[in-house]
Structure 1
Amino acid sequence: MVDDSAGSRGPLAGVKVLDFSQAWAGPLCTRTLGDLGADVLKVESDAFMDVSRTLGPYPASPDRDSSGYFLEWNRAKRSVSLDLRTDEGRASAQRLASLCDVVVENFSPGVMERLGLGYDVLHEANQQLVMVSISGFGRTGPAREHVAFGQQIEAVSGLMSLMTYDDGRPTKTGISWSDPLAGFLAAFSVLAALEQRDRSGKGEWLEVSMLEATLATMGRAFALMNVDRSPADEFRGGRHPELCPAGVYPTHGEDAWIAIECRDQAEWESLCRVAGVDWADRSEFSGPTERLRNRDELDSLMASLTTNLDAQVLADELQREGVPASPLVSIADLLGDEHLADRGFWVTVDHPTVGKLVTAGTALPIAPATRASMPAPPILGTTTFEAEWP
């Protein structure tokens, strides 16, 4: 019987997930499954807890149960303490795997096998088991044993080469983009595998490579490469390879910016009309080819225009004319965003030690009542063995 307190409401009600994952990609996968109603049991121990419990930020003094990093990715789960270094701990994990529908892990390839928890062992006891393994490079290939986090994948995937300053110096995304990509892809893969299992009666072992998850989203770069254009040059300095103006421009105020993108001639003419300039009549900016050819001059003019204007006012005026434009919003300002509040995006949970905790929503079409009753991230080891799956 699934414990209703563990988030058993939703389309995955009754699905049992055993979660061996840590850090970001794996926990985001299992949090997504928990948000959809699965009963997620997270396996940790005092000796080998989720590394995100030790990373902070903390609301007060460091505490393994109040790390902001851990709290963000681990709601809608329970926690059981099993020391996988011991025979007893491994035997308990094997028993739980024999009772569950899904196992998720993101250790380096080979770790689960060395623990006696590889797919062959678990599948022998549970023929319907769906197991997903997330790693940097996958479990096969020359790089399979390479250690990688999001930043390393951004580098080796070429994504970092597309995010450069004007002088060509690379940078990274602010959030290690490869981790959440792999996490959501893993959750999607689990849903597909459960559907297939319902038809065939058989489970399967899935693998998600962070490298391949990242590459799968970079189609525009490959399209440029296929016509002998350099993606790194085309995207240099945050530019768009086909559109101009299309960039982020300074506005009035400290560190205030606006993102503007004109996709066609009509939007370009609307921008000029709103701004009160005659640039659309100038031969060097008359069409998309001309604007791309004279991109540097046009970007300089755009920056001179916007620097004395209010970002929100300008964005509103452009939006009324159908021109894509948005002010740059700080992360701190998002909690007060009227649109997100109206859509009920934020999820507030009651945590035993932190109290009221606001976390990012799952962005999935979940009923408001379910969203409002999601369980808080777990205190380590608070699920007793007797309270696990019968």
Structure 2
Amino acid sequence: MTSEPPVQRALEGVTVLDFSHLLQGPFATQLLGDMGANIIKIERAGSGDMFRSMTFFAKWVGGSESPNFLAWNRNKRSIALNLKSKKVHDLIMEMAKTADVVVQNFRPGVFDRLGYGYEDFKAVNPRIIYCSGSGYGEEGPYVDRPGQDMLIQGLAGLIDNTGRGDQAPVPAGAGLADQIGAMNMVYGILGALYWREKTGKGQKIEVNLLAGMLAHLAQEYVAVLNLGQDLKRPNSGIGHPGMQAPFGIYETKDGYVSIAMSPFKTLYEVLEAPELAVYDDLATLYDKRDEVWEKVNAETRKYGSAELLERMLAVDIWCAQVNDIRTAAEDPQVRHMNMLTTYEHPRGGTVRVVAPAIRMSETQPVIERPAPLIGEHGREILAEFGMAPDDIDSLVADGDMTIET
């Protein structure tokens, strides 16, 4: 009988002390955990990560668990500690001696005042990689402001680019600034790990939401700052303030479709609307884009979504159905990619989640652990770092560590 070879993980052997909360930091460490890193989530004793107390729809998975927390905290073990305790500080610095990465996204200055700044960790482990996430960076006029996702979208210019020009601007329907910040954390951490392999040196990484959002609006900034023209939201369903028709969202008999790139002639021929030929030059399609959108939308409404998509795809018009979340989860391509999966949670039961988004031929990311309970793994984590059972019991008795079961 042959046994399957052990599954390999790209970041196996990398230990991360994860002090982060809410979305930016936890998503970053979840991505590292999917690749096999040993993520030790260090939460506040008692209450844990702030996301545990926040939810959508005023409902809880399994009656008690936050979908927000469950989404960003798989493949981690939790230990819940009182970070203000001298005993806990000494314990964490002992753990840091053999750790590889520290991740935190407290407001600037908070962690340093508690004795957990980069220099504190570097003093016990010069090879440590310390990744700090914030809203606006660690200095400057906004350093003390709350760095929340929607606020960043507005400051960077994304919200003003979104929605119809005759209505209020609209924030994106997802935490894009936080999620981009998470990707930048991972980008920085992986680069630092590679550089450490070559030099033996650790370093500090600073990631902030505003800088990340600006970087992802690069083409909009280059266009406005170099072409001498401001972006202006259209009054129709055109999909971008800098684009000409037909780029946008259109109604059908039973829903909506998005239409991106194609020769305009190809589109009006598919729609059997030759009268639209009068608009067929680039300047007109921009200058009269709202008018063109209205004309095209009147034609798309004559078709069901499936029929219209079939007609457009047959002549290579770039188009797609506009799904809601539930429909997207059942989309044939999403199902083919196995992008929705489940894990078993001790309180939430069978939880449906989004699977890792990348495919690797040798070290495929996987989901091996559900999101943890508060401090669930405290005893086993401390035992791995050599702490005696009696000393662990003392931490619990003193209130410096809590364990939820």
TM over 0.5: yes
Q: Among residues 273, 276, 288, which one is paired with 2:272 in the alignment? A: 276
Instruction: State the match for 1:74 in structure 2.
Output: 73
CA gap 1:8/1:99 in 2 versus in 1, 3 angstroms = farther
Instruction: State the match for 1:227 in structure 2.
Output: 227
Instruction: State the match for 2:338 in structure 1.
Output: 344
Q: Among residues 259, 280, 284, which one is paired with 1:286 in the alignment? A: 280
Cα displacement string for residues 254-311 of structure 1 (whole angstroms, at most 9, x for unaligned residues): xx21111234xxx32222222122145x3x3122222223222211111111123111
Question: Could you tell me whether the CA contact under 8 Å between 1:20 and 1:44 is conserved in 2?
Answer: yes
Residue ranges of structure 2 left out of the alignment (5+ in a row): 1-5, 387-405
CA gap 1:300/1:359 in 2 versus in 1, 3 angstroms = same
Separation (CA, whole Å) in 2 of partners of 1:277 and 1:90: 72
Question: Could you tell me whether the CA contact under 8 Å between 2:312 and 2:319 is conserved in 1?
Answer: yes
> Which stretch shows the higher mean deviation, 41-50 or 24-33?
41-50
Instruction: State the match for 2:304 in structure 1.
Output: 310
Question: Could you tell me whether the CA contact under 8 Å between 2:163 and 2:169 is conserved in 1?
Answer: yes
Question: Could you tell me whether the CA contact under 8 Å between 2:237 and 2:248 is conserved in 1?
Answer: no
Q: How far does residue 371 in structure 1 lie from its aligned partner after superposition?
A: 4.8
Cα displacement string for residues 54-99 of structure 1 (whole angstroms, at most 9, x for unaligned residues): 01241243x3xx2111000000100012111222222222222222
Instruction: State the match for 1:251 in structure 2.
Output: 252
Separation (CA, whole Å) in 1 of partners of 2:275 and 2:233: 26
Q: Among residues 302, 319, 323, which one is paired with 1:325 in the alignment? A: 319
CA gap 1:202/1:336 in 2 versus in 1, 3 angstroms = same
Separation (CA, whole Å) in 1 of partners of 2:114 and 2:8: 33
* Structure having greater relative contact order (Cα 8 Å, sep ≥ 6): 2
Separation (CA, whole Å) in 1 of partners of 2:61 and 2:239: 39
Q: How does 1:101-140 map to 2 (within 5 A)?
A: 101-140=100-139
Cα displacement string for residues 213-240 of structure 1 (whole angstroms, at most 9, x for unaligned residues): 0000112221221211102457986543
Q: How does 1:1-390 map to 2 (within 5 A)?
A: 9-56=8-55, 57-61=59-63, 63=64, 66-225=65-224, 226-233=226-233, 238-240=238-240, 241-253=242-254, 256-263=255-262, 267-279=263-275, 282=277, 284-366=278-360, 370-371=364-365, 373-383=367-377, 384=379, 385-389=381-385
Q: How far does residue 164 in structure 1 lie from its aligned partner after superposition?
A: 3.3
What amino acid does structure 1 have at the position aligned with 2:244?
A: L
Q: How far does residue 15 in structure 1 lie from its aligned partner after superposition?
A: 0.4
Instruction: State the match for 2:400 in structure 1.
Output: none
Q: How far does residue 334 in structure 1 lie from its aligned partner after superposition?
A: 2.2
Separation (CA, whole Å) in 2 of partners of 1:158 and 1:293: 22
Q: How far does residue 8 in structure 1 lie from its aligned partner after superposition?
A: 8.9
Separation (CA, whole Å) in 1 of partners of 2:382 and 2:239: 58
Separation (CA, whole Å) in 1 of partners of 2:250 and 2:349: 40
CA gap 1:95/1:114 in 2 versus in 1, 3 angstroms = same
Question: Could you tell me whether the CA contact under 8 Å between 1:243 and 1:261 is conserved in 2?
Answer: no
Cα displacement string for residues 102-160 of structure 1 (whole angstroms, at most 9, x for unaligned residues): 00000000111111111101101001100100000011222222112001101111111
What amino acid does structure 2 have at the position aligned with 1:214?
A: M
Separation (CA, whole Å) in 1 of partners of 2:270 and 2:107: 55
Structure-2-length-normalised TM-score: 0.87
Q: How far does residue 100 in structure 1 lie from its aligned partner after superposition?
A: 0.7
> Which stretch shows the higher mean deviation, 39-48 or 210-219?
39-48
- RMSD in angstroms over aligned alpha carbons? 2.2
> Which stretch shows the higher mean deviation, 243-252 or 131-140?
243-252
The ranges of structure 1 where at least 4 consecutive aligned residues each deviate by more than 3 angstroms after the TM superposition are 45-48, 232-240, 366-373, 385-390
Cα displacement string for residues 193-214 of structure 1 (whole angstroms, at most 9, x for unaligned residues): 0000111101000000100000
Aligned length: 374
Question: Could you tell me whether the CA contact under 8 Å between 2:8 and 2:362 is conserved in 1?
Answer: no
> Which stretch shows the higher mean deviation, 303-312 or 77-86?
303-312
> Which stretch shows the higher mean deviation, 148-157 or 268-277?
268-277
Separation (CA, whole Å) in 1 of partners of 2:269 and 2:233: 31
